[in-house]
Amino acid sequence: EPEVTQTPSHQVTQMGQEVILRCVPISNHLYFYWYRQILGQKVEFLVSFYNNEISEKSEIFDDQFSVERPDGSNFTLKIRSTKLEDSAMYFCASSVRPNSNQPQHFGDGTRLSIL
Amino acid sequence: LAKTTQPISMDSYEGQEVNITCSHNNIATNDYITWYQQFPSQGPRFIIQGYKTKVTNEVASLFIPADRKSSTLSLPRVSLSDTAVYYCLVGVQAGNMLTFGGGTRLMVKP
C-alpha cells in the first residue's frame, strides 16, 4: 500500500537555526498538508497546499514557516529561525482531492527537538 | 464545523469487541465521518470513513444511525496491538483542514 514518507525521523537543532523537514506524498495525491503535535497535546493543522500554492494556513504558521514543492515528488516545511516552542512531532499528509470524503494519509512524522 | 464528543478513555481485554461512540449533533449535510488511529510517536492512520448506515472494512465497522448525529466505531476481537488513541473527525474546514480533538485512548489488556 502506498504511503507518505518523511525524513528525517528525528532532527535536533540549535535554537535560531533553520530546519527543513521533508516529505514524499503518495504519488497520485494532489493535496498536501503539514500538521504538528506537541508532546501530550492534540494534532494541530499548520498548512494545506494545492496546485503549488498555500490553500489555508493556521495562526501557528507564521512568517517563520514556509512550504515548497521543489520537484514532482517532494514537499518540504522550512522553519527559518527555530524557537524552543517549535519542538514537536511534525506530520505530513496527502489526499487525492480536497473533499471531506477523501481521507488524508499521514506519514510517521519527524520529531523536531530544539535545544 | 461539527463539534465531536467521544470518551476520553476506554479499557478492554484481548478478544473482546470494542465500540467507541462519537457524538456530532451539528453534523452538516455534506460532512463525512472519518476515524483515525494513532500509536505513540506515529502519525494518525486512516481506519474507516462513512456517510450513513454501515461501512465495514478489514479493520473495523462504522455504524451511523439515520439522523447521523452520532457514529460508533466497532473493533472486533481486539488485541494488545490495538492499544492506541482513536479520533472521530467530522467534515473539514477551509483548506481541507482536519481538526483533531483529544480522541479516545483505548487500552487493551491481556
For residue A90, the domain's CATH number is 2.60.40.10
Domain that holds residue A87: 5-114
CA dist B37 and B86 (Å) reads 5
pLDDT confidence of A100, banded at 50, 70, 90?
low
Percent of chain A past pLDDT 70, that is, above it, reads: 99
Which of B32, B36, B96 is facing A31, going by the closest CB pair?
Answer: B96
Give the pLDDT confidence score for residue A72 in this predicted structure: 78
Asked if pLDDT for residue A101 goes beyond 90, the answer is no
Residues in a beta bridge with B36: B46, B87
CA dist A97 and A72 (Å) reads 17
Distance (Å) of CA A109 to CA A94, A96, B39: 13, 20, 12
Say which residue, A11 or B98, is predicted with more confidence. Answer: A11
User: Mean pLDDT, to the nearest integer, of B14-28?
Assistant: 95
Task: List the single residue in A with minimal CA-CA distance to B29.
Answer: A100
B11-14 LR contacts (CB < 8 Å, sep 24+):
B11/B106, B11/B107, B11/B108, B11/B109, B12/B78, B12/B106, B12/B107, B12/B108, B12/B109, B13/B108, B13/B109, B13/B110, B14/B78, B14/B79, B14/B80, B14/B108, B14/B109, B14/B110
Total domains in the fold of chain A: 1
Give the pLDDT confidence score for residue B60 in this predicted structure: 97
User: Mean pLDDT, to the nearest integer, of B4-28?
Assistant: 96
Buried b / exposed e over A51-66, threshold 16 CB at 10 Å, is eeeebbbbebbeeebe
HSE-up of B90 (CA within 13 Å, CB side)?
A: 24
Asked if pLDDT for residue A73 goes beyond 90, the answer is no
User: Mean pLDDT, to the nearest integer, of A69-74?
Assistant: 87
Percent of chain A past pLDDT 90, that is, above it, reads: 87
Backbone dihedral region for residue B102 (phi beyond 0: left; psi -120 to 50: alpha; all else: beta): alpha
Residue with cell 482513536: B86
- The CATH-assigned architecture of domain B9-109 is Sandwich (2.60)
Which of A48, A105, A106 is facing B97, going by the closest CB pair?
Answer: A48
User: Mean pLDDT, to the nearest integer, of B10-18?
Assistant: 97
User: Mean pLDDT, to the nearest integer, of A40-57?
Assistant: 94
Residues in a beta bridge with B107: B11
| Cβ contact A44–B102 (<8 Å) | no
pLDDT in tens, B43-102: 999 999 999 999 999 999 999 999 999 999 999 999 999 999 999 999 877 778 888 989
CA dist A93 and A31 (Å) reads 8
- Using a CB-CB cut-off of 8 Å, the residues of chain A touching B49 are 101, 103
Asked whether B71 and B6 are in contact (CB, 8 A), the reply is no
- Using a CB-CB cut-off of 8 Å, the residues of chain A touching B41 are 89, 108-109, 111
Give the pLDDT confidence score for residue B95 in this predicted structure: 75
| Cβ contact B51–A45 (<8 Å) | no
- Using a CB-CB cut-off of 8 Å, the residues of chain A touching B45 are 106
Give the pLDDT confidence score for residue A102 in this predicted structure: 85
